[in-house]
Amino acid sequence: MRMYHLVQTFHPCNRYTTVQNIITMFGLFKKDPKKKLEKEYINLLFKARDLLRSGDIIAYSGVVAESEAVLAKIKALEEQEQNV
């Protein structure tokens, strides 16, 4: 690799050295996947409730199946956290 490429890569004005990329690189402010799944699970439950109230049982059962799959992922993450 030429010296020019090294200088270009680490130059402060380069897009690779923005604050956001540095934070992402070192894992600071990393989002918790469990919280994201919990939010998705709650949204699916609300959607299922609305579908049930509207009388669409087939769509309701599909959304409930999706929510159960998300709940299984949440439980797997919890078990993984306990084992670590």
**DSSP character at residue 29:** T
pLDDT score of 70: 96
Examine the domain organization and report whether 23 and 50 are in the same domain.
no
- Count of domains forming the chain: 2
**Model pLDDT for residues 61-83, shown as the tens digit of each residue:** 999 999 999 999 999 999 998 88
Examine the domain organization and report whether 42 and 15 are in the same domain.
no
Examine the domain organization and report whether 14 and 39 are in the same domain.
no
Examine the domain organization and report whether 39 and 9 are in the same domain.
no
Examine the domain organization and report whether 16 and 51 are in the same domain.
no
pLDDT score of 77: 93
**Model pLDDT for residues 1-60, shown as the tens digit of each residue:** 444 444 445 555 555 555 556 555 666 667 788 999 999 999 999 999 999 999 999 999
- Per-residue b or e along 25-37, where b marks 16 or more CB atoms closer than 10 Å to that residue's CB: eeeeeeeeeeeeb
